[in-house]
Chain A
Amino acid sequence: MSKIKVEACVSVASDTDIVNARRQGRALADHIGFSSSEATLIATAISELARNIVHYARDGEILVGMVNGDSCPGISITARDSGPGIPELKRVMLEGFSTSGGMGLGLPGVRRIMDEFNIESQVGKGTTVTAIKWKR
């Protein structure tokens, strides 16, 4: 993966931080030149990842940055926390699976709308999700 140039780092510990994180993500998406629809996708992905942090880990951070692909630029989103980690990583990535009474659409939805998606989680240590959307 190409080198990520971090443009903004947002601490996430409350639901107002979720709104702030997605606002910063949209601003960067607009700056890179994504269409309005793609910027909405990106903002929504950030919203889901930030909510997971608040809900499961209580606090963490969202980093949004620019990344250069082979032929086009992109936006990268990193959501990381030092929370409890995800013991059932495979099941969490299945649509409809939720431990919180939600729809279970969060992580699978983010994976579907972004071009690249990676999740690393260690029980007791935390979770890091990295996702990239290329500007085609």
Chain B
Amino acid sequence: MAVPILKQSHYLIATIQAALTDADLVELRDALVARVGKFRSRGVIVDVTALDVLDSFASRTLRDIACMIRLRGAETVIVGIQPEVAFTMVQMGITLEDVPTVLDLEEGLAHLERKSRH
């Protein structure tokens, strides 16, 4: 597994540590969707701080992850999109649609706490 997934209380935290291949991204998607059931998690944080490129395939896979996790009954939040990556996504017209994004891990946990209280 290219991306370690940590379980922290009711949440799963996947921290991407280096550039990922398309196959790594798909593997991450499948692992998260399986583990959210195994650990009965209420939320998933995907930390993309270390990603220097978020192209159309990576963006689509992140959207798929959020959508599949939602179908499993949990929430996903993407954290750590770098300024250069945000710039490129806007220039290219790539969006994450309704997938929530926040600044960093701390904000990600706060976001999931707020979500699970409602």
Listed in ascending order, the chain A residues whose CB lies under 8 Å from chain B are 15-16, 18-19, 22-23, 26, 36-37, 39-41, 43-44, 47-48, 51, 95, 102-103, 105-106, 108-110, 112-113
Contact = CB atoms under 8 A, between A and B. Distances in A.
Given A37-B83, A37-B87, 4 more contacts: A41-B91, A48-B56, A51-B55, A105-B56
A41 B88 contact: yes
Interface string B48-77: 000011111101100000000000000000
A103 B19 contact: no
B88 A23 contact: no
Q: Which 5 residue pairs spanning A and B have beta carbons closest together?
A: A109-B92, A40-B84, A15-B21, A15-B22, A47-B55
Contacts, number: 68
B88 A44 contact: yes
Nearest to B19: A19
B109 interface: no
Contact of A105 (B21, B54, B84, B94): B94
A36 B85 CA distance: 10
Contacts of B88: 37, 40-41, 44, 113
B22 to A, nearest CB: 4
B7 to A, nearest CB: 28
Interface string B37-56: 00000000000000011111
Contacts of A48: 55-56
